[in-house]
Amino acid sequence: ELKVEQNPLFLSMQEGKNYTIYCNYSTTSDRLYWYRQDPGKSLESLFVLLSNGAVKQEGRLMASLDTKARLSTLHITAAVHDLSATYFCAERMNYGGSQGNLIFGKGTKLSVKP
C-alpha cells in the first residue's frame, strides 16, 4: 500500500527553537515535494527534491532527501510565528500509468508560540 507518513502530526514550538519534521514514504519515488498550507488557504509549494542527497533551503526552512532510507526531513531553524502553518510532504508515483499522482502525508500542524 502506498503510504506517506509524517511525524509529528502536531508540533508546538517556541520562537527561536529548532525542530525537524520527518516524512517517510513507501515507494522508490524519485521526487519528494513539500507544501505549506495556512488555515483556510490553499497549498503553496515550498520545495521539490529531485535526487538522493538533495538539500534545499529557503529562509528558516531546509529540506533534504534520502532515497535509500525513503526519508525526507524539513528542518526549521530559529522558528518565528510566521512559520505557523500545516506542512505536507508528498511523493510522486512513478510506475504504471499514474505517473502524475502525488501521494500526500496527513500534514504536520506547526504552531510557533512567543
Partner 1 sequence: DAGVIQSPRHEVTEMGQEVTLRCKPISGHDYLFWYRQTMMRGLELLIYFNNNVPIDDSGMPEDRFSAKMPNASFSTLKIQPSEPRDSAVYFCASSRQGYNEQFFGPGTRLTVL
* Residues of the shown chain interacting with partner 1 in the complex, contacts defined by CB under 8 A: 30-31, 33, 35, 41-45, 48, 88, 92, 94, 97-102, 104, 106-107
**Shortest gap between Cβ of 14 and partner 1 (angstroms)?**
26
- Closer residue to partner 1, CB minimum distance, 40 or 114: 40
**Shortest gap between Cβ of 49 and partner 1 (angstroms)?**
11
DSSP secondary structure of 30-66: S-EEEEEE-TTS-EEEEEEE-STT-EEEETTEEEEEE
| CA–CA distance, 83 with 94 (Å, rounded to integer) | 31
- Closer residue to partner 1, CB minimum distance, 48 or 54: 48
**Shortest gap between Cβ of 42 and partner 1 (angstroms)?**
5
**Shortest gap between Cβ of 94 and partner 1 (angstroms)?**
8
Cell of 26: 513507501
| CA–CA distance, 17 with 15 (Å, rounded to integer) | 6
- Closer residue to partner 1, CB minimum distance, 2 or 55: 2
DSSP secondary structure of 68-86: TTTEEEEEE-S--GGG-EE
